[in-house]
Structure 1
Amino acid sequence: MASLQEQLLKAGVVNKKKANQIKAEKLQTKQKIKNGKLDNKAEEERKAELQRQREEKAAKDRELNLARQREIERTAVLGQIRQMILQNTVAREDGDLAYNFTDDKKIKKLYLSEKMHKDLSEGRLGLLKSDEQYVLVPKGIAEKIQQKEPTFVLVLNTKSDAVEDEDDPYADFQIPDDLMW
């Protein structure tokens, strides 16, 4: 039995010139495959896989760099906060008045002088926790620290003007602010 090429030549479907041209093309492709110069599908897939791996590595590197950058920024902010606390700490005067506040769901008590107690209650001072110690700082500094890192600020009272009801039967009887029980 003759090859398909010979059968096509006998039938007159393909002429001798066309058959030789196809044979030459086959030989060239075999030589390219043998020499490794042919970009076939396997080669394209390998290149695509390498490109995908490069892109994944670049994305992972970007993520790691962002995480490192965030950590550096956080460390810088914490350093700024500690510096602000050190420079602006109000010397605490021990006194007889207890000021109660919460720290990590626990009620704590701090004894202050009458003036400091009043300033802290009225919001002129803020109470912060720094390195397991409680410190008092002016309101402006406490607000700046609260914007940067709210976990430092334990107490920062704000004055609120109470809205009075028109129908309040006790509107004529104001409660004094300095009332001590």
Structure 2
Amino acid sequence: MSKSLQEQLLGAGLVDQKKAKAISKEKRKKAKQTPKGHQQEDEIKLAAKQKLAEKAERDRAMNQERQKEIEAKEIQAQIRQLIKQNAISRKDGEVAYSFTHEKKIKKIYVNETLQGQLARGQIAIVAEGEAYELVPKAVADKIAQRDEARVVLQNERSTEVAEEDDPYADYQIPDDLMW
């Protein structure tokens, strides 16, 4: 049979009987000092600390998500307020102005003055839910800073120089073509 390490050391003469007894006595003393469940308690405490750390991390991530949602709602509220305060009335609109939104052709009715301003880029069309509103260019720029998708149409005056070889350089294309 296999002998314990202590018996093997005694047999080889590396340790004497007195030293072996002192070592085993010390070993028993240490075993009595630490209770049987003490090691399990340490493992339980370590696991509990780990779970608390994981929960704190999850809570922190959830708080960040909530904060992002709150900020998004605040931005949308700011956009609604900007549109409501700066919407241009188009109640006497008799000219249909067509534009594209989400790959569909949409139409709003405006008067000739508003049509000219739209063509020159002085006013823009913004989406408010399912409806469309006209707002000044400066307001449209503020809305675009917050959410570019809400600005449906904002014409820019082109400052391109016509090429010398362009055969159609003498023919200007109007911005307010009717569809």
TM range (shorter): 0.7 to 0.9
Q: Which residue of 1 aligns with 2:142?
A: 144
87, 90, 109: which is aligned to 1:89?
87
Kindly provide the CA deviation profile for residues 38-92 of structure 1, in whole angstroms up to 9, marking residues without a partner as x. x5xx666555544433332222112111100000101111111111111111111
State the aligned residue count. 176
Give distance in 2, aligned partners of 1:13 and 1:165: 103
Give distance in 2, aligned partners of 1:176 and 1:102: 19
Following superposition, the deviation at residue 33 of structure 1 comes to 4.6
Give distance in 1, aligned partners of 2:90 and 2:65: 39
Q: Residues 145 and 153 of structure 1 are in contact (CA less than 8 Å); yes or no, is this contact kept in structure 2?
A: yes
Give distance in 1, aligned partners of 2:58 and 2:136: 44
Structure 1: unaligned runs, 5 residues or longer = none
Q: Residues 120 and 126 of structure 1 are in contact (CA less than 8 Å); yes or no, is this contact kept in structure 2?
A: yes
Root-mean-square deviation over aligned CA pairs: 2.9
Residue type matched to 1:175 in 2?
A: Q
Q: Residues 123 and 139 of structure 1 are in contact (CA less than 8 Å); yes or no, is this contact kept in structure 2?
A: yes
Give distance in 2, aligned partners of 1:7 and 1:63: 59
Matches within 5 A, 1:92-107: 92-107=90-105
Q: Which residue of 2 aligns with 1:135?
A: 133
Structure 2: unaligned runs, 5 residues or longer = none
Following superposition, the deviation at residue 93 of structure 1 comes to 4.0
Following superposition, the deviation at residue 157 of structure 1 comes to 0.9
106, 110, 113: which is aligned to 1:115?
113
Distance 1:176 1:158, change over 3 A: closer
Distance 1:142 1:180, change over 3 A: closer
Give distance in 1, aligned partners of 2:175 and 2:23: 107
3-state SS of 2:52 partner: helix
Could you state the TM-score of these two structures normalised by the residue count of structure 1?
0.81
Give distance in 2, aligned partners of 1:164 and 1:154: 28
Residue type matched to 1:100 in 2?
A: S
Could you state the TM-score of these two structures normalised by the residue count of structure 2?
0.81
Q: Residues 96 and 112 of structure 1 are in contact (CA less than 8 Å); yes or no, is this contact kept in structure 2?
A: yes
Matches within 5 A, 1:13-162: 13-37=14-38, 39=39, 46-162=44-160
